[in-house]
Amino acid sequence: MLPYLTRGRVAVGAALTLPPAVCAVLVPFRADMPDANTVLVLVVAVVAVAALGNRLAGALTALSAAVWFDFFLTRPYGQFTITDPADAITALLFLVVGIVISQLAARSRELKVIALTDDDYLAQIHHAARLAETSTSPHTVIDHVGRQLVGLLGLSGCRFEYGTLMGRPPRLEEDGTITWGDRCWDADRDGLPREELELRVFHNGHFYGRYMLQPAPGAAPPLAARLVAVTLANQAGAELDATGHAHA
């Protein structure tokens, strides 16, 4: 989360500083440069910030660019006023186009991130499956899956418990939801509970144990990550089942 937040702050800073800087650079050429060319230059700035940051940063850049376009590049210069109706229409159209383009650029970046994340999830599942095929001890697979869960879910720790269930901690369910007693915990809104939670390990209807997950402060894995965690736990269960480990 930290790199994402840092990148977001940088993008917002760029949204506030890049448009006036670009407009200031264009001031010496404003008398000879058509408005269409000026707008194209500013659109490049909008797309650059949207690609770096998020939707908010892109929209903020479009708004900032429209304001500073008015201030630096339309008459009367140096004022937040437009007297020429054509310039007013240009500024308004630029604002609309800038916002639309910024949202498309941000969406494109989000899809790229999703694709990369999905590839990483598949790689983790594949790695655990390959280890299960080659390992001679189920404990190797259990320990490896535990380490995967720490990174995948943003945990401060994880341990595996064999045998009978004890207590009623929050539980990560097969469908990626979290239940806590009789209520459903909204993990998408609130992240993981601060309490230690369990991820039960089953295979062929048999219970073999559970991973006890210790969330780090602020851990908020998306649903896809939680579903991958369940899949990894199931692979550990399959390995225990294949090696004839006693089940509860």
Rounded Cα gap, residues 203 and 149, in angstroms: 18
Average pLDDT over residues 129-146: 82
Lowest pLDDT segment from 75-84, 121-130, 149-158, 164-173:
121-130
Instruction: Give the chain's radius of gyration (CA, Å).
Output: 27
Rounded Cα gap, residues 226 and 184, in angstroms: 15
pTM listed for this prediction: 0.53
User: Rounded to the nearest 5°, which phi and psi values hold at 125?
Assistant: -60, -45
- In the chain the beta strands, taken as DSSP E runs, fall at 155-162, 171-172, 178-180, 183-185, 197-203, 206-215
Rounded Cα gap, residues 206 and 247, in angstroms: 6
Residue 88: band (very low, low, confident or very high) from pLDDT cuts 50, 70, 90: confident
- Give the count of beta carbons closer than 10 Å to the beta carbon of residue 14: 20
Per residue in 158-187, pLDDT tens? 999 987 677 889 999 988 899 998 889 999
